[in-house]
Amino acid sequence: MNFTWSHNFNSKSESTEKIDYSAYSDDKLLDQFKMENWTKLQENEKVGIIQEMENRNARQQNREPSEVVSSSRITSYGSYNSMNNQMNINVNNFSSYETLDTFVHESNHAYQAYCIENGVGYDEYTRNMMEVETKRDENGNLYNYAKTSPQYDMQCNELDSNNKAARFLLAEPDRFKDDQEYRDYISERNAHFKDINYALDNYSQMRASMQNDQNYTSYIRGDITQEQYDALNKNINNSEFEDPTVVQSHSLENSISALDMEFSQENSLFSEENEENIEDFNNGIDNSNDEDNSVSY
């Protein structure tokens, strides 16, 4: 999945009249993401549901809610622009579960921006590292944010948002497990977390080099203090230091893998039962034909 911080102030999106879903319970809002419900919704209804979820997230986090708009970029799941506090969500081209993951991911970017600005919400290392990753130049461009793989997914901002989104959907198997699209989503997330954790385990020096460059660039530009620079430098280059976002990513891989295996086993049992039923049915037909063939006239 491709999630981003928007790089420019102006982002193209489709403007649709949003519907007020404030009277919906949390459960009723989530139920709208079941495929049987989601496929019946119009674009403005989908945006309205997501906007209400964002309003509730922001209220709980004591921040201003982002404006949710429908993205017109077919190849992108979504993005967040901290300069205008707007999130673009692709509500039309992916499954409801990928869309829900995208919303949680981008809403978390909004929360990260709030925490960086106010010095709250995370341990000092994570918050400082997220700050240097998202520093902008005089033209509003993200000058430190890695855009190529695997560095992009190894950044604290992306790890944290991937973790939050996966954890959110992992908490709802009883609600969504009857949808094959949800099972497909879990399978895709399982593959993603395996890939990113492999990169974290095997390319730790690449990540450290990237982080050192980001930290130093922000420092020489005067965008972070000497104290922030020294604290980050100490942890980045300490092989014994455990990055919280990395620890969480590995923990989530175990949980996602377990659920994906559970779904795979259920699918396997279902397939075996179907094969047995088909075999019994065919045997019945064969036996019936044998009896018919034995009748004498």
Digitized pLDDT (tens) for each residue of the chain, 297 residues in all:
444 555 543 444 444 577 899 999 999 999 999 999 999 999 999 999 999 999 999 999 999 999 999 987 778 899 999 999 999 999 999 999 999 999 999 999 999 999 999 999 999 999 999 999 999 999 999 999 999 999 999 999 999 999 999 999 999 999 999 999 999 999 999 999 999 999 999 999 999 999 999 999 999 999 999 999 999 999 999 999 999 999 999 999 999 999 999 999 997 775 555 555 545 545 555 554 444 443 333
**3-class state of residue 67 by DSSP:** strand
Half-sphere exposure for 58 (CA within 13 Å, toward CB): 22
**Whose structure tokens read 């919303």?**
103
**Two structure tokens written together for 20:** 């007020």
pLDDT recorded at residue 22? 96
The closest of 70, 45, 66 to 56, measured between CA atoms, is: 66
pLDDT recorded at residue 31? 98
Indicate the DSSP class of residue 136. Answer: B
pLDDT recorded at residue 275? 55
What does the alpha-carbon distance between residue 41 and residue 30 come to, in Å, rounded to a whole number?
14
pLDDT recorded at residue 9? 39
Please name every residue paired with 69 in a beta bridge, in sequence order, or none if there are none: 88
Interior/surface letters 8-30, b for 16+ CB within 10 angstroms, e for the rest = eeebebeebebeebeebeeeebb
What does the alpha-carbon distance between residue 5 and residue 240 come to, in Å, rounded to a whole number?
30
**Whose structure tokens read 């901002």?**
157
What does the alpha-carbon distance between residue 268 and residue 246 come to, in Å, rounded to a whole number?
33
pLDDT recorded at residue 284? 58
Q: Are strands 3-5 and 78-81 parallel, antiparallel or unpaired?
A: parallel
**Whose structure tokens read 């403005």?**
44
Please name every residue paired with 78 in a beta bridge, in sequence order, or none if there are none: 3, 89
Q: H-type helices in the chain, by residue range?
A: 26-31, 35-38, 43-61, 96-118, 124-133, 151-154, 156-170, 173-176, 180-202, 204-220, 226-236, 244-294
CA dihedral sign of residues 253, 254, 257, 259? negative
Contact 7, 77 (CB under 8 A): no
Edge-first strand listing for the sheet containing 3-5 = 3-5, 78-81, 86-89, 67-71, 13-14
The pTM of this model reads 0.86
What does the alpha-carbon distance between residue 131 and residue 228 come to, in Å, rounded to a whole number?
10
